[in-house]
Amino acid sequence: MSDCIFCKIVAGEIPCKKVYEDEEFFAFHDINPIARVHFMIVPKHHIASLLECDSGYDEEMLGRLLLLAPKLAKEHGLQGGFKTAINTGKDGGQVVFHLHVHVYGGGKLSHLD
């Protein structure tokens, strides 16, 4: 997706503070953090949102994506826990239409933050 900001970050065309990379996923700090630690995990392959995920094709990818959250959170000092958010679609508050999981924490967060 040539006009996708997260595809450009994955490709190294837009700078970011990288957290993690493997063959399938890329993680980087949010430019506008809402907690002391706030990063996002994205699949390298462009997929717009959970609404576009396929129950057969994407099932295992989504499992691996979610399992990265506790691993990377712990590596960033969030041993005591963290929040995750996946905003989906315009009505779900999604702004960047490349599937991503927000992982954030550090300091006290309310149940809705």
**Smallest Cα–Cα separation from 50: which of 82, 89, 78?**
89
How are beta strands 37-43 and 25-29 bridged, if at all?
antiparallel
d(CA 23, CA 37): 24
The smaller minimum CB distance to ligand 5GP, of residues 95 and 112, is found at 95
Least Å distance, CB 46 to ligand 5GP, is 14
Q: Which stretch binds ligand 5GP (CB under 6 A): 58-66, 67-75, 90-98, 103-111?
A: 90-98
d(CA 110, CA 4): 32
The smaller minimum CB distance to ligand 5GP, of residues 30 and 58, is found at 30
Report the interface residues with ligand 5GP, using CB under 6 A.
5, 14, 16, 28-32, 87, 93-96
Give the active site residues. Answer: 100
